[in-house]
Amino acid sequence: MLIRLGYDIQFDTVGEVPIVTLLNVHPSRKKDLREPDELHTDPLVKVENYEDTFGNHACRFLAPPGKIRLQNSTLIEDSGLPDAEDPDAAEVPIDQLPVNVLPYLMNSRYCEVDLLSNTAAELFWNAPRGWQRVRAVCGWVHSKVTFGYEFSSPFRTALGVYTERVGVCRDFQHLAITFCRALNIPARYATGYLGDIEIIVAPSPMDFSAWFEVYLGNRWWTFDARHNIRRIGRVLMATGRDATDCAITTSFGSARLTSFQVVSDEVTAQGEVIVTSR
């Protein structure tokens, strides 16, 4: 399967504004790229590419005063298979976890493990260990939280999601991540492209998506508390402790978003978009 990926994002800036982006495909997927994956700016500015603390491909540049446009279009080959699963994947004892996995058991900006530990124990402690426990977490969050773009807030944490029972995709993942960590299952936030491939096309404009990954059976697995189904065509861009570490753009100054478009479509070898909604 070939997937056309891209974005067109525009800002109005006041003065020169340093900006950091996480708009590139994750290094783990670069082998699948069939076209260059490069950030293009208008006006042209010097872009510095680097690997951040979490192993993501990041870019840094200085936006000039006025308008700046960020664009890219690339092609990636995908297996066309749903998210991998293993119902027998087991929890790994904390003393046997790789050291670099341990941070994904801790509190972070949007995931207050300490404040939701008792709740997680009450809800899920009797659930079967391992894969089925994570499925129970996803099922609970999916059924108890209402999705809506009107509920978007940069300040809502996992505790806020649990209390208010509303949110956007990142809120669903933050609450699920927090519950998993409270149950001693390492969990990390993930963001990337998730097109409407082989599903009913959503009426809302395409956007980047959030999901999460858990460490079971000595590897990371994809879970999605918002959709709560296995999906096709998920393309990872970044992982981190929560949305703070995976912000698509971070502006160190006044930069007002004026336009935002994302593309994630299955295409033929000739570049024609394939519509396979069901």
Taking the chain (278 residues) in runs of 10, the rounded mean pLDDT of each run is: 97 97 98 98 98 98 98 97 97 97 98 98 95 98 97 97 98 98 98 91 82 97 97 97 97 97 92 67
Domains and CATH numbers, the chain: 2-80+248-267 (2.60.40.2250), 94-245 (3.10.620.30)
Sequence-distant (≥ 6) Cβ neighbours of residue 249 within 8 angstroms: 9, 19, 20, 21, 22, 23, 70, 255
pTM, entire model = 0.95
Q: How far apart are CA 224 and CA 186, in angstroms?
A: 15
Looking at residue 265, what DSSP letter applies?
E
Q: Measure the CA–CA gap between 35 and 1, rounded to whole angstroms.
A: 14
Cα torsion angle, 231, 23, 78, 3, sign: positive
Return the pLDDT at 276. 54
